[in-house]
Structures are given as structure tokens and as C-alpha cells.
Amino acid sequence: MKIVIVGDGKVGSALTVQLSREGHDVVVIDNNKMVLEEMQQSWDISVVHGNGATLKIQKMANVDNSDLLIAATSADETNILCCILARKLGCKHTIARVRNPDYYHQLFLLREELGVSLVINPEYSTAHEIFRLLQFPSFLKRDSFAKGRVEIVEVELRDGSPLVGAALSELQKRVKVKVLVCAVERDGQVFIPDGNFQLEAGDRLSFTASSSDLAKLIRNLGLTQKKVKDVMIIGGSRIAFYLAENLLRAGVNVKLLEIDETRCQELAELLPKATIIYADGSDKNILDSEGLAQADAVVTLTDIDEENLIVSMYANYLGTFKVITKINRTEYTEVLSGKGIDCVVSPKDLCCSDIVRYVRAMGNRKGESALTLHRIVGDKVEALEFQANKQLPQLGKRLADVKLQPNTLIACLTRRGRIIIPQGSDTIEKDDTVIVVVKSDRIINNLSDIFLED
């Protein structure tokens, strides 16, 4: 597809890399000539220097003949204007990154009038992700499929777990819940396991399970069950505001530390039920005096990765039950694992995943619509949800009788609302939603791509 990306910041550059890798014809518009030159040297893309919200520049980028324009500049107004102009030129699909809470809520009402196909708010998505993790704090990561009926959750297998030493073929017998381990990370390596795979302490397991079975899964795995009642948030960003809103609505006590006095006053007015503290949340003495050790959960949301990391490590040192760290530079995530930084969220990655999912659904030519895409196991594995159509040759065949591509797993089937954790005797039927797990170095555009030819 022909895709124009306006803005080559963190989100724009990450999208450029991902979409170029997937074979799309990408044009990048930006005001920074040096950044464009660096991107063009690294990737097979076209670049246009200038203001992407002007008619002249969009015509130079051939927006009128493009399939999609993604506006990801730092200014919401510019992004909205880019999309309006692109639709006027004849671009059928537009995506706007909009961060301001006021604009974001209004745009859902005005999307059709403004010609915006999809509105992405990285901060809102990140807050939602953190809130979901705090609902089940034993999970390191949590992703939803099948309209929320199926989840893939990540846990660490600790010494004493009933699964240590078990083969995956014994899994359901031991945990007494219908689940499937779809990926295992061990010592930096990632496995898409079969039934003979034997589990070890320290493994990070990604389970597929019905959402209704999550509490039972935690209990039977012997994981600590604790309801989060008191949360300390470090940093008063937009993410912090969205998260505090959700937590307060759920009856959770919120204490928020912010170093900027003006922002503290704003938050105090917006969040009257929260405790807003004007203080440096990276100062150890302040953290101690404000009761960090007594908090059930700590979420570090400053704009500085280093501060988030240090405060998170200190909270882990104190034994805080749940610690969630926001990181922008995710290339170092592997190094951080096992050093007190276990639960990481990235607004950039969440935003890119939402957009890539939309692009893949657009480009699906065979009608096997890609409904959902999530990156798991530190972005080394992708979990994709497809809908099976009547043209799929493998319809009605036992899964034991079909051959899958290497490092590929069918993790779950959903049929008329019923969740099926698949076994060899199960079949894929027309209109089933199928969750597929593959290593992220492979591009899966259609459900048929996961099967080997007979």
C-alpha cells in the first residue's frame, strides 16, 4: 500500500520502520531535513521536506494517490488539519494522533465530518493498559482478543510453582483451567512450544485463557492474589490524569506526586478525590515520607526514563507488590529484565501496534480480516486475531491433520461466543475468530499464511 506519514518523531519513525519492513510504499513528511536524510539512508522510503498540513507538500508527497495518511506530529491541530486536507485530496483513510483530552473525546463525535478514519491517543491507551494490569497485578502483561472474551497474559514461573518441571502436555491437568501456553521466554530466548516442552523456574509464560478463568488461573498457579487499593503515581502527565480518573472511578485511593506547581494545581481541580502532592517524586526522602513502602502499587510516569527506572527499582527494593514503569526507549527492555523492572509500558509501542493493526486490516485482500494485533514477549512475538472465511482450504479439517509454518501456534478459537482452547481434534469453521501466535520476524497478512501447503 501507499502510505504517507506526517511527522518523523518517536511514533512516526517507529511506524516508518515497521511499515517499510512489511513491504509498504512509505513517504515521510517532516520539517527536519537532517532527520529525513537519516531515515532515507536507513530505509527504502521517499521523503518530502516541509509542512505536511499544506496543500503543496501533500501534493508533492502524492497524498491524492495514497491509500492512507498517518498524521503523527507533536501538534494535535496539525494532525487534524493534515487528515482533513488528505481526505479532500482523495485519500480514503486517515489516522490522527490526538493527545489533548478535550479534542480526543470530541473527535469521536466529529470523525466522519472531519474525515478521520481512526483517532489514536497514546496516553489514553497507555493509561488503559496500566489500569488493566492493576486489576490483576500478578500479570506482567495482559492483552485482550475476541471483544474481551479471550486474554493472553504473561507471568513469571517462580520456584515452588506447581508447573516447574512439568511438560506442557500436563498443563491443564495441573492448573485445572483450560489454558494454552503460547510462548515462553527463557534466558533471552523465545520459544513457541509444543506439548513436550518442559517448564523451568524463571520462565516467562504467555498464557491464552478465557477472561472468565483469569482469577481461577491465578489461584491455581499459586500466584499472590491481592486487590490494589492504594496507588502512588509519580509524575503528573496526561497518562497520570487518565489513569487516576480510571482508578478513582474504581474506588482506588490515588496519591500523585508532581514537581511542577502549576500542573499540581490543574490536577487538584481535575481530580478532587485524589491526593496531589507538590514534590519531586524522584527524591528518596520524599518517597519515604509520603509512604511509598505502604502503597500497594507504584506507577512511574515522568517524562524521564532514568527517573522512572530508578524509582521503580527502589519501589521493588522496598517490596512494593506491583510496580509499573513507563519507558520511551524500549530498545533496552531486555537489559532491564530481572533488575527490578519487570512490568514495562511504552506509549510509542502501543500507538504503533494500534496503527499497524489498522493497516494490516486495510491491506487484507482475501477477506480474512485481521481483527487484532498485539506484540508480546518483549515484542519478539506477535499474537494476531483473524476471522476465517469460506475460502480457507483448512476449514473443517482436524488441527492434528493440518501442517503449520514453523514457530506458529493456533492459540484459541472463538465460535459464536464460545471459547475453544484448541486440541488436535478441533477444527476451524467458517466465521470462527482464530488467534495465531508467531515470532515477530515473520509477516502474517492472512490466516492462510500460517499453513504449509499440502
If you search the block for the grid coordinates 483451567, which residue do you land on? 177
* pLDDT at residue 441 in the model: 79
* Calpha distance 218→216 (Å, rounded): 5
CA dist 30 and 201 (Å) reads: 48
| Domains 139-220 and 355-450 alike in fold | yes
- Quick: pLDDT tens for 155-183: 988 888 888 888 998 888 888 888 899 99
Domain ranges of the chain: 2-120, 139-220, 230-320, 355-450
d(CA 378, CA 225): 25
Residue-averaged pLDDT of the chain: 88
How far is 145 from 208, CA to CA, in rounded Å?
Answer: 10
**Span 6-52, pLDDT tens digits:** 999 889 998 999 899 888 999 999 999 999 999 998 888 999 999 99
Distance, CA of 95 to CA of 119 (rounded, Å): 6
- Is the pLDDT at 130 greater than 90? The verdict is yes
Distances 330 to 300, 325, 381, 410 between C-alpha atoms, Å: 15, 11, 15, 28
How many Å from the N-terminal Cα to the C-terminal Cα in the chain? 30
CATH architecture designation of domain 355-450: 2-Layer Sandwich (3.30)
pLDDT tens profile 433-452: 999 999 887 878 788 889 98
More confident residue, 244 or 338: 244
Exposed (0-12), middle (13-18) or buried (19+): which is 267, by Cβ within 10 Å?
A: buried
CATH no. for 230-320? 3.40.50.720
For the domain made up of 139-220, give the CATH fold.
Answer: Alpha-Beta Plaits (3.30.70)
Distance of alpha carbon 120 from its chain centroid, rounded? 13
**Does the pLDDT at position 348 exceed 60?**
yes
- The residue among 377, 433, 437, 376 whose CA lies nearest residue 406 is 437
DSSP 442: S
- 93 strand-pairing partners: 68
What is the average pLDDT across 411-439? 92
CATH architecture of 2-120: 3-Layer(aba) Sandwich (3.40)
pLDDT value at residue 118: 87
